[in-house]
Chains A and B, each alone.
Chain A
Amino acid sequence: MSVDTRTSLLDLLREQLDLHGAKKGCDHGQCGACTILIDGQRANACLALAVAHDGAALTTVEGLADGDELSPLQQAFLDHDAFQCGYCTPGQLCSATAVLAELRQGWPSAVTPPGGEVQPTAEEIRERMSGNLCRCGAYANIVPAITEASS
């Protein structure tokens, strides 16, 4: 397909591919609602120009479930009521999916310096999920949901 050179990945998904799961909350990379996975790593789709990602593998929230079956993370979000209005939720889920992979791979963070043993503690999850804002205030449910999905 051909796209305007100014088009972000987020606008491409939402306006041209009818994949509206990724949300636009600020368009400046400040809220995380647009978080998707680009080649398996989390990124703000609003800050990525579409033309710069020709050939990349993109995973949006639409791609997390297995057919009608929610992923363990999605199911944990449902059970813990880890969302209210649902607008930050696609970004939270994509971000958390990547966080689980980062934890498994032992990536360092502000909580665990390089070389330290990475554990899926509440403190670690809070730190790694702080790029995804939730104005409804579901953090207290998001953290246990991710903790449950990490085990």
Chain B
Amino acid sequence: MSTTIAPAVGSGLRRVEGHEKLTGTARYAYEHHPQGELAYAVMVQSTIARGEVTAVNTEHAVAMAGVRAVIWAGNAPRLAEDTEGELAVLQSPRVAYRGQVVAIVIADSLEMAQRAAQRLEIEQAAETHDVVLREDHPGLYKPDKVNPTYPADTERGEFDAAWSEAEVTVDEVYRTPAEHNHPMEPHASVAAWREDGIILYDSNQGSFMAAQTLAKAFGFETEQVQVIAHHVGGGFGAKGTPRPPQIAAVMASQAVRRPVKLATTRQQMFALTGYRTPTIQRLRLGASPDGRLRAVAHDVYEQSSTVQEFAEQTALATRKMYDCVNTRTAHRLVRLDVPTPSWMRAPGECPGMFALESAIDELAIALGMDPIELRIANEPERDPESGLAFSSRNLVACLREGARRFGWAQRDPRPGLRRDGRWLSGTGVAASTYPARRRPSVATARVRDDRRFSVAIAAADIGTGARTVLTQIAADTLGVAPDRVVMEIGDSQFGQAMLAGGSMGTASWGSAVQAACARLRERIGDGTPEPGTEVRYDTAEDVEADAALSRHSFGAQFIKVRVDADSGEVHVARALGVFAAGRILNPLTARSQFIGGMTMGIGMALHEESLLDPQFGDYVNHDLAGYHIPSCADIEDIEAVWVDEHDERVNPLGAKGIGEIGIVGTAAAVASAVHHATGVRVRELPIVPPRLIALGPIL
């Protein structure tokens, strides 16, 4: 094999599936047609927020042209007894939230199924519901852990004593609304149930884990269930684990003994596919006049459903971010008659850092100190929570580099000074962080008949560029050009693998791909690659043996806004993110990940809010006309850069995940920039004109 090929890692290799995606030939889940006559399924949802389904008139619906079956709690196939929470679709007549699946209509065409679903007669007995999160809700409790296994409460030092003695303090409450992930491809599945197993073409972030979950629910072994997700139209956490639609699709196929297509509608996604919990966060920061933090407390109030507990780890970053001896964090949860919240891009860090970083900005103002210098003054040498060394931590470098690029030195900190006609402008900064973990995965490298190399792993490319960077890693390890590698992903039959979540994909899959390819290359040696030669590698033991270190990415976000002084309309005129995320494997796709996260962060700051109507328990703005995400016109000047970070200890690739850090801190930087522009501090997101005007007067 040649050893003179230029390294692929570090190059801006174009997306390897780019041609397919640009010509419309890439097949997403719903676009697969398995053998057999297809049927179409439509989910019908509850119109009460709490109560019971007492009857469904299936006879009337089944009499309609083309309708094959109507299933509900009264006649649905039984799932395994231990199927719990949101996965127990139609296993009980109880209604736990508005929008829950209460029936599935299956027909010969989509139009027939939709029509029958619209006309389905469902009797529901409503009970009084409770859907509003409050910090004084009597149902608040301390969860055993927060997502996934962190303690709900922590305390080091003595907060109370330090707080009472602190000379400069900030004590404020910050609020973030329910937000929905809304990948552009709604959840969709094509299910083929057979006596001996299931084939599911699916839109998900982890096919192997989906196969495990579905096998358990439907009484099969994992190997009997094949989940295929070659192309996935975004996820952002909403497709991390199977949700009710996947169960519904398989169940529908089981009921009619045909392959069934089921697409979740955009409206249904508001109830059925998870969302970010609203949060209420009290931040107390106490400092000495030199800016050293003496007391930090972060108290979080958030919600879950009555169906299952999901406890967002909102105060997690506060435990590690700054050097303060006396730090206390607490999470309190209340179970409401609402859909179950779940992961949304940077769960925990994203809402938590809005509050912490806003409070840090407020503290800087109270101290009369520059907010960058305040952060640097509280930079820890070791992880303040665990006492472990950081594998690398370059927050200060990010802040300094961002300040240089943004011209921060010229900034006059006084608010409301910069006015051009109706427009006020201001700038703000915030820090970002996200864990850099990895999980066990299995990869297989093989010599193909055409003497190219096939590398298979049950990874998911939800738009991250995973297929491309894994190709680059494989090519370099094998010592060949990327076009000699055929990267196969998105199939549960490739074996156990981490899902695309927690910014762990590249580190988890990449180290498995690297190890499998290295051993295949060893086996081939100087000889000719023999077709069929194959190496399978499982990183489970390697991951277990990883040294105890605190592994995190860091970043700094700089925002310039302009605010219409009359209407309160806010535009982000410039966004700059500077990140320290280890080795950047592909600068082209990495930059896209960073700016994509920042763009969603701008949405969080200015647009996104799922408005729950307390009377009916429903999201009233439940479509993309009502739930606003950034459009092309909202993104003017956005740039992401990174500082060199050589971290040999984080994992064998030296790379840290980058899918989530881009959204962390963006909203705080926007809110601080709005304050700098107007003198008005907005502590409740999103910063929409009525909210800003109500807090006025704008200067």
Interface residues of A, Cβ cutoff 8 Å to B? 4, 6-7, 11, 14-15, 18-28, 30-31, 33, 60-62, 64-65, 70, 74, 77-79, 81, 83-90, 93, 125-127, 129-143
B27 at the interface (CB under 8 A from A): yes
Given A133-B184, A142-B632: A28 and B623 interface contact (C-beta under 8 Å): yes
Verify A81–B591 contact, CB threshold 8 A: yes
| Bound form: Cα–Cα A92–B23 in Å | 12
Interface of chain B residues 296 through 355 with chain A (CB within 8 A): none
The smallest beta-carbon distance between A127 and chain B, in angstroms, is 6
Verify B595–A143 contact, CB threshold 8 A: no
The one of B24, B596, B599, B623 that contacts A26, using a Cβ cutoff of 8 Å: B623
Task: List 18 A–B pairs whose Cβ atoms lie within 8 Å, in order of A's numbering.
Answer: A6-B114, A21-B24, A21-B25, A22-B24, A27-B265, A64-B23, A65-B22, A81-B588, A84-B589, A85-B231, A85-B234, A87-B184, A133-B184, A135-B183, A137-B630, A138-B592, A139-B632, A139-B634
The one of B22, B231, B462, B599 that contacts A137, using a Cβ cutoff of 8 Å: B599
Verify B633–A127 contact, CB threshold 8 A: yes
Interface residues of B, Cβ cutoff 8 Å to A? 14-15, 17-19, 21-28, 30-31, 33, 109-111, 114-115, 182-186, 231-234, 236, 263, 265-266, 462-465, 588-589, 591-593, 595-600, 623-625, 629-636, 638-639
| Bound form: Cα–Cα A60–B18 in Å | 17
The smallest beta-carbon distance between B181 and chain A, in angstroms, is 8
The one of B15, B109, B631 that contacts A81, using a Cβ cutoff of 8 Å: B15
| Bound form: Cα–Cα A89–B592 in Å | 15
Interface of A is mostly: loop
- Given A23-B184, A30-B624, A138-B592, output 17 extra A-B contacts at Cβ < 8 Å: A19-B24, A20-B30, A25-B184, A78-B14, A78-B15, A78-B22, A81-B14, A84-B593, A85-B185, A86-B22, A87-B185, A89-B22, A130-B632, A135-B184, A136-B184, A139-B630, A139-B632
**Residue in B closest to A89 when the chains form the complex, CB atoms:** B21
Verify A77–B263 contact, CB threshold 8 A: no
Given A81-B14, A81-B592, A139-B635: A62 and B23 interface contact (C-beta under 8 Å): yes
Question: Which residues of chain A are near B18, meaning CB under 8 Å?
Answer: 78, 83
Verify A85–B183 contact, CB threshold 8 A: yes
Verify A126–B633 contact, CB threshold 8 A: yes
When A and B form their complex, which 9 residue pairs have the shortest distance between CB atoms, in order from nearest? A21-B24, A87-B233, A137-B599, A85-B463, A84-B463, A86-B21, A137-B596, A61-B24, A20-B31
| Bound form: Cα–Cα A107–B604 in Å | 33
The one of A4, A30, A60, A83 that contacts B24, using a Cβ cutoff of 8 Å: A60
Question: Which residues of chain A are near B589, meaning CB under 8 Å?
Answer: 81, 84
The smallest beta-carbon distance between B444 and chain A, in angstroms, is 25
| Bound form: Cα–Cα A143–B636 in Å | 10
Given A30-B624, A139-B599: A86 and B592 interface contact (C-beta under 8 Å): no
